Amino acid sequence: MISMKEMIKNWLLLLSLGCLMQGCSRSDQPALQDTFAAAQQQYRHLSEQADSLQKFPRTIDAQGQLTGTNEWDWTGGFFPGSLWFIYNQTRNEQTKSEAIKWTEKLEAAKDLDQHHDIGFVMYCSYGNAIKYLDDPAKIQAYKAIILHSANTALKRYDSKVGLIKSWNRKKAWDGTTVWQYPVIIDNMMNLEMLCYASDISGDPKYREVAISHANKTMENHFRADYSTYHVVDYDSTGTAIHQQTNQGYADNSTWARGQAWAIYGFTMMYRETKDPKYLQTAKKAAEYYVNQKNLPEDKIPWWDFNVGQQGYASDVDFSGRGLTEQPRDASAAAITASALIELSGFCSANESEIFLNFAKASLKTLSSPAYTAPLGENGGFILMHSTGSLPHDSEVDVPLIYADYYYLEALSRLKTLN
């Protein structure tokens, strides 16, 4: 049962976000503080449950109970990362202790080499800790952990192929194709840690791998209209041999979160290298997303842009799922909003306005009661209505820790911009 005090807080939160998204600047700084204060309260609830579960929060089950992961999953870094974003705005000591505790619980993952996600895991946690913690001894130790993690990431890089392998051998939905060297668009997100490893070590090899990976992703993951394939499989010489999907609707469709990773990944690679071809790619991928005809008015995408459309045939049978409407993916909206805010800083005034307005409109929807849960509910997560993987019938229309992470990052970026 939600108390009157919490109802008032929720109402103030929504009021402040409404103001923020309409583009108020200096005057909404105190209002945005209320947003992070509410997030802090919600995450206190999440932290308590995570402590009893002794797992990294990921989502909730059908009974509304928290479910979590150990450090070997791809999502462990998002909980400490979200705590760092909150701490950076509130300077609350308890949040800081929680952020340190959950960051340091991930240390063993510096050897995570069974999939490509070590960048997500270690950079969203330790990377943000380095940014926001004022403790030279810890920062030095954390940098060593990041460097170790970057070396682990390179174990999945084959210079003949020129990319980091995302997954080990895996069967496609068509039931016959077996991917040997699958690379997914999500993998762009692991490159930020490599660029940072070069910065702190002075060794260019990490950034060179990131650049090679981004270049080949540009060549093979994009269609002519800058929509993206989810999975590209390579042979041992680095030739792309399959362009398919794993979490999207069809091989030729555009999985909404995949497009979000592409916008974010190429914006980040432009920031890190200043290579104009990455900026061009980020802008084109962003234009595809913001001009998407099949995007609901409120800017929160369906989980895939092409479900059921003519010319798109899925290898997955969705008929027994009882879906009356396609689920949305709030996580894709949050990732895209965060990416567009950064991208808007690299564009002409006209483009910048388009991208920033789109991001603000998305954040306004995400901050409304349609997507932001009342305090104390939703298992302690902030956002509702994300979709993990519909083809796998997994995490459909639920809160997801990474939706919260990119939402908090987007709000932090917007505050910096203001």
| Residues at the contact surface with ligand GLY, assessed by CB under 6 A | 74, 186, 247, 257
- Measured CA to CA in angstroms, residue 284 lies from 293, 304, 330, 355, 362 at distances of 15, 18, 22, 12, 19
Distance, in Å, from the CA atom of 234 to the CA atom of 383, rounded to the nearest integer, reads 36
Distance, in Å, from the CA atom of 218 to the CA atom of 336, rounded to the nearest integer, reads 18
- In the structure encoding, which two tokens stand for residue 224, read together? 């002519």
Please choose, from the candidates 24, 5, 2, 8, the residue with its C-alpha nearest in 3D space to the C-alpha of residue 364.
Answer: 24
Q: Which is nearer to ligand GLY, 28 or 186 (CB)?
A: 186
**DSSP characters for 359-411?**
HHHHHHHHTSTTTBPPTT-GGG-SB--EEEETTTTEEEEE--HHHHHHHHHHH
Q: Which is nearer to ligand GLY, 242 or 257 (CB)?
A: 257
Q: Which is nearer to ligand GLY, 143 or 257 (CB)?
A: 257
CB of 74 to ligand GLY, least distance (A): 6
CB of 276 to ligand GLY, least distance (A): 27
- Measured CA to CA in angstroms, residue 90 lies from 25, 96, 417 at distances of 19, 10, 18
In this chain, which residue has its C-beta nearest to ligand GLY? Answer: 186
Distance, in Å, from the CA atom of 177 to the CA atom of 155, rounded to the nearest integer, reads 25
Distance, in Å, from the CA atom of 92 to the CA atom of 170, rounded to the nearest integer, reads 44
CB of 389 to ligand GLY, least distance (A): 6
* Residue 314 near residue 369 (C-beta atoms within 8 A): no
CB of 57 to ligand GLY, least distance (A): 16
Q: Which is nearer to ligand GLY, 186 or 409 (CB)?
A: 186
Q: Which is nearer to ligand GLY, 156 or 257 (CB)?
A: 257
CB of 360 to ligand GLY, least distance (A): 24
Phi (first) and psi of residue 182, to 5 degrees: -75, 135
- In the structure encoding, which two tokens stand for residue 137, read together? 């001894």
- In the structure encoding, which two tokens stand for residue 330, read together? 């709030």
Distance, in Å, from the CA atom of 48 to the CA atom of 50, rounded to the nearest integer, reads 5
Q: Which is nearer to ligand GLY, 380 or 388 (CB)?
A: 388
Q: Which is nearer to ligand GLY, 103 or 247 (CB)?
A: 247
Q: Which is nearer to ligand GLY, 98 or 409 (CB)?
A: 409
Distance, in Å, from the CA atom of 314 to the CA atom of 66, rounded to the nearest integer, reads 32
Active site residues: 117, 186
CB of 118 to ligand GLY, least distance (A): 13
CB of 247 to ligand GLY, least distance (A): 6
Structural element, H or E, at residue 96: helix 93-104
Radius of gyration for the alpha carbons in the chain, expressed in angstroms and rounded: 20
CB of 204 to ligand GLY, least distance (A): 28
Task: Report the amino acid identity of residue 269.
Answer: M
Distance, in Å, from the CA atom of 151 to the CA atom of 396, rounded to the nearest integer, reads 35
- In the structure encoding, which two tokens stand for residue 375, read together? 């305090």
Instruction: Indicate the SS3 state at residue 147.
Output: helix
